[in-house]
Amino acid sequence: MAKQQLISLESDPRILAAAERLSMTRREFLQFCAALATTLGLPQGADAAVAEAVATKQRPSVIWLHFQECTGCTESMLRAEHPTLEKLILDVISLDYHETLFAAAGHQVEAARKSAMEQHKGKYILVVEGAIPTRDGGIYCKIGGKTAIELLKECAADAAAVIAIGSCASWGGMPSTDPNPTGASSVGQVLGKPVVTIPGCPPNPYNFLSTVVHFLTFGALPAVDHLGRPKFAYSRLIHENCERRAHFDAGRFAMEFGDEGHRKGHCLYKLGCKGPETYANCSVIMFGDAGAGTWPVACGHPCIGCTEQGIGFAKPIHALSKMKNIEPSAFLPRIVEEKGIGASLGAAAVLAAVAGAAAGAGVMVTKNLGLSHQAEELEKAKKDGSKASESTEV
């Protein structure tokens, strides 16, 4: 069924037009959409819906605000090592207001923001980068004569969805570290309601793109956890999918930077790696663009827990991580295979790897997606209780 849908989409002129816009072949475009669907943990067949949405739906207007931050989130989005990603982000959204990217300045830019807000009232997506200073009436960050608090509330009032991008907007990040002289707060705290958060310093552009594509395809944001983080990206610990995990399990650790264990690629836990207490998919899609399909932990730098409030920028880099759970690594073969819970591990992994390679993202984007999602599906099935009875010992 899904295959038939993809084949008919291949001959759809709108798909060809979208692929040309992105300097891809039709096949590469469809494969990339399939990878996005896999990243989002969508069921089989959803790749066609994603492709159709990206190719044909009206791009949602995006108002992007900047407050207390370093602009690293924007840098990460637009200077992704893979040009396809940057192109796709700018292709699936209509970026109608972005202070640091606009060539214009002053009243012209403020007029552009107001006009976009009026034109797309109730339909635009508000993306907020940076924390909001709340001390002394919020005077520590003013844009166009308004405090960040005023601007945020004004723009959020008529937004269809609010996304806090990066750790600063998600939970205060670096500006909120002790003693927090400006009273830096998160978007959710200032608005007094939960928002979707995509923490990370910087955040992973692929997670932002997937969130927006979900909105584009289904008219709703993806399911989130209690901190507003999309579950497809933040439901597993980095430690669960880390390539050094076998060394952790075997008790082989680097004890000092540059020692024999470090050079041999042993586990970085004793150098302060925060992977065991940090929820993010960096180890799944190898985020960090450290080059040659690798990521910072693979290069020998311990995870600093930048996605987690109370860990990133709060816990000393050398301090030992708390073990949040002691489940076996997702890399280990399962003793009990469970049936009837959607796409198989092999199918998901192969699809993801092919699509990632086609789009230039290669192994970095998708190497372990199948493992990660299947583990989640198994947990879901166990909770339901219904499908668990279909288990078969092998």
Residues that bind ligand SF4 (CB under 6 A): 238-239, 242, 244-245, 248, 267-269, 273, 275-276, 297, 303
In the complex, least distance from residue 174 CB atom to ligand SF4, rounded to whole angstroms: 22
Residue 328: cis peptide before it, omega within 30 degrees of 0 = no
Provide, rounded to whole angstroms, the least separation between the CB of residue 244 and ligand SF4: 4
- Whether the bond into 133 is cis, omega within 30 of 0: no
Q: What is the nearest approach in angstroms of ligand SF4 to the Cβ of residue 230? A: 21
Q: Which residue's structure tokens are 């899609």?
A: 285
State which residue, 125 or 297, has the beta carbon closest to ligand SF4: 297
CA distance 65 to 6: 37
The two counts, helices (H) then strands (E), for the chain are 19, 11
Beta carbon of residue 271, minimum distance to ligand SF4 (angstroms, whole number): 8
Structure tokens at 286: 């190898």
- Residue 331 structure tokens: 């890399």
Distance from C-alpha of 39 to C-alpha of 24, rounded to nearest angstrom: 20
Which residues are within 8 A (CB) of 346 and not within 5 positions of it... i.e. 6 or more apart?
370
User: Distance between CA atoms of 143 and 365, rounded to whole angstroms?
Assistant: 36
Amino acid letter, residue 214 = H
d(CA 257, CA 301): 9
Q: What count of other Cβ atoms lies within 10 Å of the Cβ of residue 40?
A: 23
End-to-end CA distance of the chain: 30
What is the closest distance, in whole angstroms, from the C-beta atom of residue 314 to ligand SF4 in the complex?
A: 18
Phi-psi region of 145 (alpha: psi -120 to 50; beta: other; left: phi over 0): left
CB of 247 to ligand SF4, least distance (A): 7
CB of 297 to ligand SF4, least distance (A): 5
Question: Which residue's entry shows tokens 């993010």?
Answer: 280
Comparing CB distances to ligand SF4, the nearer of 103 and 326 is 326
Query: Considering the complex, what minimum distance in angstroms separates the CB of residue 245 from ligand SF4?
Result: 4
**What's the farthest any 2 CA atoms get from each other in the chain?**
68
- Residues forming beta bridges with residue 131, ordered by sequence position: 68
Q: For residues 214 and 266, which CB has a smaller minimum distance to ligand SF4 in the complex?
A: 266
CB of 61 to ligand SF4, least distance (A): 39
Which of 188, 275 has the CB closer to ligand SF4? 275
User: Taking the complex as a whole, how short is the minimal distance between the CB of residue 268 and ligand SF4, in angstroms?
Assistant: 4
Asked whether the beta carbons of 266 and 252 are under 8 A apart, the reply is yes
Nearer to ligand SF4 among residue 196 and residue 273 (C-beta)? 273
Tokens 């798909």 found at: 15
Min separation Cβ 281 and ligand SF4, Å:
13
Residue whose CB is less far from ligand SF4, 244 or 387: 244
Q: Give, in order, the Cα–Cα distances in Å from 354 to each of 29, 37, 359.
A: 12, 13, 9
- Of residues 72 and 275, the one with the C-beta less far from ligand SF4: 275
Closest residue to ligand SF4, based on beta-carbon distance: 275
Cα torsion angle, 176, 177, 182, 183, sign? positive
Pairing of strands 61-66, 142-143: unpaired
Nearer residue to ligand SF4 within complex by CB, 271 or 358: 271
